[in-house]
């Protein structure tokens, strides 16, 4: 039985003070002893350390939204996996479509980041997703398979990897993939992973859905056999909505 995982991706929102406030509110709601699912929040880099202290007593895991593929060096403006470790992170989100779209991250770059983050002891949430044009052209499955294969290239052990399927056309748009559409892609990701690794690895792999998940659609999405929780953007900025989504995973 896979333990579901719900992670709030705060994106470029909240100052340090606002992040602490929201994290405190979420920690009070989540508390300890949540056994039905794993919960994480991914604030801005700047607030990671402080938020880590605020949620330390709770079951919430700290996640970053990105990292570089080297540990240190002349990479102005970048943050490394080793630094994230030192800030108390358990997870890092990699290959988010906003990184791919707006910051030119190719699957090859994402793959280097995945390998470095895992080597540094972080757990990785590897994001994949097709654009609207790709879906309309009927190439969703090949696009996603390509992103999974390239993202995991050279990764021998995926026990610390979570995959997040996030159709680009559903992110922040209010449009959600239907549970059937999402389930179809999730099942195909699991089959791809079974081919790359083995049936046991595929069976253990958690595949989150992301893209306009809200309290009103979370129950249905999370009830699908291959949907193991969610990566939540907008709705994770409100403690009540985020908690309702966590409950939907239970």
Work out how close the CB of 214 gets to ligand PGA at its nearest, in angstroms, rounded to a whole number: 8
Catalytic status, residue 96:
yes
Work out how close the CB of 195 gets to ligand PGA at its nearest, in angstroms, rounded to a whole number: 26
Instruction: Give residue for tokens 């330390």.
Output: 56
Instruction: Kindly name the residue from 96, 105, 120, 134 that is annotated as catalytic.
Output: 96
> How many residues sit in the footprint of ligand PGA (CB under 6 A)?
13
Q: List binders of ligand PGA among 229-248 (CB under 6 A).
A: 231-235
Taking CB under 6 A as the rule, does residue 8 contact ligand PGA?
Answer: no
Taking CB under 6 A as the rule, does residue 213 contact ligand PGA?
Answer: yes
Taking CB under 6 A as the rule, does residue 172 contact ligand PGA?
Answer: yes
CB-based contacts of 193, cutoff 8 Å, min separation 6: 148, 152, 158, 163, 201, 202, 205
Catalytic status, residue 70:
no
Taking CB under 6 A as the rule, does residue 122 contact ligand PGA?
Answer: no
Q: List binders of ligand PGA among 137-166 (CB under 6 A).
A: 166
Q: Is the distance from CB of 79 to CB of 116 less than 8 angstroms?
A: no
Instruction: Kindly name the residue from 98, 105, 134, 166 that is annotated as catalytic.
Output: 166
Work out how close the CB of 213 gets to ligand PGA at its nearest, in angstroms, rounded to a whole number: 5
Q: How far apart are CA 198 and CA 207, in angstroms?
A: 16
Q: How far apart are CA 6 and CA 211, in angstroms?
A: 13
Q: Is the distance from CB of 8 to CB of 60 less than 8 angstroms?
A: no
Q: How far apart are CA 70 and CA 116, in angstroms?
A: 7
Which residue sits closest to ligand PGA, CB atoms considered?
Answer: 233
Count how many Cα atoms sit within 13 Å of the Cα of residue 223 in the half-sphere of its side chain.
Answer: 7
Q: 18-35 as b/e, with b when 16 or more CB fall inside 10 Å?
A: ebbebbebbbebbeeebe
Work out how close the CB of 12 gets to ligand PGA at its nearest, in angstroms, rounded to a whole number: 12
With respect to ligand PGA, which residue has the nearer C-beta, 82 or 122?
122
Which residues of the shown chain bind ligand PGA in the complex (CB under 6 A)? Answer: 9, 166, 171-172, 210-213, 231-235
Tell me the catalytic residues.
96, 166
């Amino acid at each position: 039985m896979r333990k579901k995982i719900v992670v709030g991706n705060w994106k470029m929102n909240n100052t340090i003070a606002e992040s602490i406030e929201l994290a405190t509110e979420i920690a009070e709601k989540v508390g300890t002893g949540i056994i039905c699912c794993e919960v994480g929040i991914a604030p801005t880099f700047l607030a990671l350390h402080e938020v880590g202290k605020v949620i330390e007593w709770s079951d919430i895991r700290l996640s970053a939204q990105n990292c570089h593929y080297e540990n240190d060096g002349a990479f102005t403006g970048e943050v490394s996996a080793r630094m994230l470790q030192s800030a108390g992170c358990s997870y890092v989100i990699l290959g988010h479509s906003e990184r791919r779209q707006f910051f030119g991250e190719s699957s090859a770059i994402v793959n280097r980041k995945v390998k470095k983050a895992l080597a540094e002891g972080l757990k990785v949430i590897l994001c994949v997703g097709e654009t609207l044009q790709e879906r309309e052209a009927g190439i969703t499955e090949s696009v996603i398979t390509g992103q999974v294969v390239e993202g995991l290239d050279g990764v021998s052990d995926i026990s610390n990897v979570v995959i997040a399927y996030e159709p680009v056309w559903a992110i922040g748009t209010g449009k959600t993939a239907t549970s059937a559409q999402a389930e179809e892609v999730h099942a195909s990701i699991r089959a791809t992973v079974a081919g790359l690794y083995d049936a046991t690895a595929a069976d253990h792999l958690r595949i989150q859905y992301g893209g306009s998940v809200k309290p009103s659609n979370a129950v249905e999405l999370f009830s699908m056999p291959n949907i193991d929780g969610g990566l939540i953007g907008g709705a994770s900025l409100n403690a009540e909505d985020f908690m309702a989504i966590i409950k939907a995973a239970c």
